[in-house]
Amino acid sequence: MRIAMVGTRGVPAAYGGFETAVEEIGKRLVERGHDVVVYTRVDDRSAAPREYLGMRLVPLPAVRSKALETLTHTASSTAHVIAKSRPDVAFLFNAANAVYLPAMRAKKIPVATHVDGLEWQRTKWGKGGRSFYRVSESIAVRYSDALIADAQGIADYYSQEFGATTELIAYGAPILLECDQAMLGDDLEFKKFHVLVARFEPENHVREGVAGFASSTASHPLVVVGGAPFAAEYTQEVEAIAARDPRIRLLGPVWDQARLDALYGGALTYLHGHSVGGTNPSLLRAMGAATATLAFDVSFNREVLGTDGKFWANPADLAVELTNAESQPAEAVATGQRLQQRARERYNWDDVTTKYEALAVRLNSGETQAKRFNGRRQTSG
């Protein structure tokens, strides 16, 4: 089959969960004999690569703004899908892109939409943005041939809100067999620091995570990886807390994957504050690196971590968990190893690819749920 991947920044994966999924699934589909087309987001098309790990790349520009970047790129991608690539099946990522579903359906291109998390709950979006996301969810329900949810909580949401069924397909977890301690540098010791990796957004609770560490008696440093191009005020709040505590080190974004892997695998604990995004790739990466995880207490994180997760709801809770981890480092290491085994068993990219491939086969043969659900909400929330 010719399979198109639409709606992400593309590959190589250097940003987030969607891009990682496209890379891991796409390269495996190619290995299984499929023709995979990935739409990539670039400023200069002339210098952009046209092939990666067997996937054919279509580089297209986008308007660089928080509100328009995704939508403008997906608009040009949809035009190319309809006019030129005409795939047997398309996978559309991000419910916000659902506004382009009617155009693809008009050309009889089967589309499965990966709806992602509950984006309308993010405070970075104003009233208009949140309303747009909620309308987009309705469009996705009405016009997608299939909906993909990466967590049971997301599947439950679409069932409760719309009465709609979803394909439950989580992400895979990269398994890190050995930490390259040389990549930690001279100022970090193996299993003697904590790490937090996230975009600086309120729903990721970076501020609360840093504040919890600052109020703790932890002796090991906290390394914070990440930033946010559209959240200057929030970033300043995080920086202000860090400036008062010499134990906290803000590294900014880390694009070197080997360095990032070392930070995940070398840490005693990983602090995870994400709350609205379903199954989170950073959480899976920490599990795959065999690192004990202290996660914000929401259903998505409990689903992924199971009984070996440690959970916090506020900075005071996190401070206690950090103290406990440092007082019992051997138990923290053992917990990380159990989490890695859980990742091996439940979050395997080969299994994920098999589910995507099977769904593509079904859609290509004519299976669809489009218009079976009208997209109207069953709740008033």
Q: What domains appear along the chain, each with residue ranges and CATH number?
A: 2-172+349-364 (3.40.50.2000), 181-346 (3.40.50.2000)
Written as six digits, the tokens of 350 are 């080969």
CB 49 within 8 A of CB 11: no
Please tell me the predicted confidence (pLDDT) of residue 270: 98
pLDDT band at 32 (very low <50, low <70, confident <90, very high): very high
Q: Tens digits of per-residue pLDDT, 110-151? A: 999 999 766 656 666 677 777 888 899 999 999 999 999 999
Q: Is the preceding omega at residue 12 within 30 degrees of 0, hence cis?
A: yes
Quote the CA–CA distance of 285 and 281 in Å, as a whole number. 6
Out of 58-67, 155-164, 324-333, give the one with best mean pLDDT.
324-333
**CA 297 distance to own-chain centroid:** 18
Pairing of strands 292-296, 35-41: unpaired
- pLDDT confidence bin for 63, thresholds 50/70/90: confident
272: tokens are: 């995870």
Q: Is the pLDDT of residue 106 over 80?
A: yes
Q: What are phi and psi of 92, to 5 degrees?
A: -105, 125
Phi, psi (degrees; rounded to nearest 5) at 150: -95, 5
Count CB neighbours of 95 within 10 A: 28
Stronger pLDDT, 277 or 340, i.e. the higher one: 340
- Higher-confidence residue of 47 and 157: namely 157
pLDDT mean over 259-265 = 96
Whole-angstrom distance, CA of residue 208 vs CA of residue 318? 9
- How far lies 146's CA from each of 126, 165, 377, in Å? 29, 8, 18
* Residue 120: Cβ within 10 Å count: 18
Instruction: Tell me if 6 sits within 8 A of 114, measured CB to CB.
Output: no
For 84, which DSSP code? Answer: I
Q: Average pLDDT of 16-42? A: 94
- Give the list of residues 6+ apart from residue 322 with CB closer than 8 angstroms, or none: 194, 212, 213, 216, 218, 269, 294
- Whether the pLDDT of residue 272 is over 70: the answer is yes
**Average pLDDT of every residue of the chain:** 92
- How many CB atoms within 10 Å of residue 252? 10
Question: Are the beta carbons of 339 and 290 closer than 8 angstroms?
Answer: yes
Contact 220, 193 (CB under 8 A): yes
Tokens of 104: 């693809």
- Report pLDDT digits (tens) over 323-357: 999 999 999 999 999 999 999 999 999 999 999 99
Average pLDDT over residues 174-203: 94
- Collapsing DSSP to helix, strand or coil, 234 comes out as helix
**Does the pLDDT at position 296 exceed 80?**
yes
SS3 annotation, 286-328? HHHCCCEEEEECCHHHHHHHHHHCEEECCHHHHHHHHHHHHHC
Percentage of the chain beyond pLDDT 70 is: 95
Residue whose structure tokens are 């709040």:
237
